[in-house]
Amino acid sequence: MDRLPTRRLLLSSSAGMLAATATAAKANMGLPEASPEDIGIHPRRLARAHDLLEQWTKGPDAPMPGAALAVGRFGKALKPRLFGRQGPEPDAEPIRPDAMFYMASVTKPVIYSCGMMLVERGQLNLSDPVSRYLPEYSGKNKDEARVLHLFTHASGLADELPDNTELRKAHAPLSVFVDKALKSPASFAPGTSQSYSSLATILTAEIVRRISGMPIDEFVRKEFVDPLGLKSTGLGSRGFDRARIVRCTLPEYQKGGDFGWNSRYWQEFGSPTGGLFSTPADFGVVCGMMLAGGLSGGMRLLSAATVRMMTTNRLDDMPEMPEPIRRTKPWGLGWRLNHLGQSDSWGDLIGREVYGHTGSSGNVVWMNPATQGFCIIFSNYLRSRAPWRLVHISNIVASAFE
């Protein structure tokens, strides 16, 4: 099998990566488009991923109604491929070329990136008690909590509120979720264990709001989306044609109501825990920015120091964190690192230095600093029903990097 000159490709492409990334947002067309050979992607290997997604999205009974795959490297990207239907209904229309996907928890790293902007500006310290910024946050296992624990899911807070479903059915505003999150108990002393927490992200968004004086959706737009030149990305769907939004396969508890992922209420809510909408091309710009150390479109969105801290294992900074958790389930600041060998791993061919996030609506995004490559898989099937599907695609994509 013919092989590309990997070492020479890495050196020459890395030299041009920043320049390529700098032109991306200006054109508002995602990252500059490349052929697989241009950026060291084996085309026949990648084609296996396309074939599998085509197979899984074909027909009215397809297990994955719709999907998209975007792959890039060195500040460039292959043209995204879209598959299947715009919704899970058997007679749903073909997926649109401008389809916007519900990203669910892939939203969270964007919220934490906004928090890190305040760190850079000298307005927020990760080492401070949470109560410095949110005085209402107090009680057992809460008085000792630092902002760092919110960013690494080590606060002891639960994932969701006990009455989460009831609040959504009542179309509660974000302020109600914030108030209840502030009063929620913490089940363990901060920094002594790790448990994924949407409530921690809600409180992080509230810290951003209080410091900046802007609602979190406005902050995301002004400080993250607009500087990157993203025209098809938003925290909440307001201002976008709802016909573009890919309809999700709903979990059982959401069926028959007007509060689920496909409802106008939830789409416009703009939840900081899972309310972002985007396209593969737009989010490719985000991946390119992270891999370029915070640079995009000729400007610096995040400092190189911030990107390094966000994408390396910050559980190492917690002396009471048990070694098995620290070693096998690493987390950065908002971005998760691959849990290699664990049931929630994104792939068997990408190491624990690979960072990204998943979304329950059927998404996974990862970036590999070793290869300077990224993989974006968006879909509208329930990830919990078959998480292995995304892992299969990730393994194929990882094998295609030369």
Tens of pLDDT along 106-159? 999 999 999 999 999 999 999 999 999 999 999 999 999 999 999 999 999 999
Give me the architecture of the 111-215 domain, per CATH.
Up-down Bundle (1.20)
CA distance 204 to 190: 15
pLDDT > 90? residue 342? yes
pLDDT > 70? residue 290? yes
Residue 217: partners with Cβ closer than 8 Å, 6 or more residues away:
234, 235, 236, 270, 275
Percentage helix, strand, coil, to 5, in the chain?
Answer: 40, 15, 45
The predicted structure's pLDDT at residue 298: 84
**Cβ 335 vs Cβ 105: under 8 Å:** no
Question: Regarding predicted confidence, which is higher, 299 or 380?
Answer: 380
Average pLDDT over all residues of the chain? 93
Residue 188: partners with Cβ closer than 8 Å, 6 or more residues away:
141, 156, 195
- pLDDT, one tens digit per residue, over 67-112 is 999 999 999 999 999 999 999 999 999 999 999 999 999 999 999 9
Domain extents for the chain? 6-108+218-400, 111-215
User: Is residue 8 very low, low, confident or very high in pLDDT (cuts 50, 70, 90)?
Assistant: very low
The predicted structure's pLDDT at residue 153: 98
The predicted structure's pLDDT at residue 21: 44
Please spell the DSSP secondary structure of 157-196, one letter per residue. Answer: B-SS-TTHHHHHHTT--HHHHHHHHHH--BSS-TTS----
Mean pLDDT throughout 290-294? 98
pLDDT > 80? residue 262? yes
pLDDT > 80? residue 300? yes
pLDDT > 60? residue 366? yes
**Cβ 301 vs Cβ 225: under 8 Å:** no
Superfamily for the 6-108+218-400 domain: DD-peptidase/beta-lactamase superfamily (3.40.710.10)
DSSP state of 223: I
pLDDT > 50? residue 386? yes
Mapped onto helix, strand or coil, the DSSP state of residue 337 is strand
pLDDT > 90? residue 17? no
Of the candidates 325, 320, 330, the residue with the CA atom closest to the CA atom of residue 144: 320
User: Is residue 297 very low, low, confident or very high in pLDDT (cuts 50, 70, 90)?
Assistant: confident
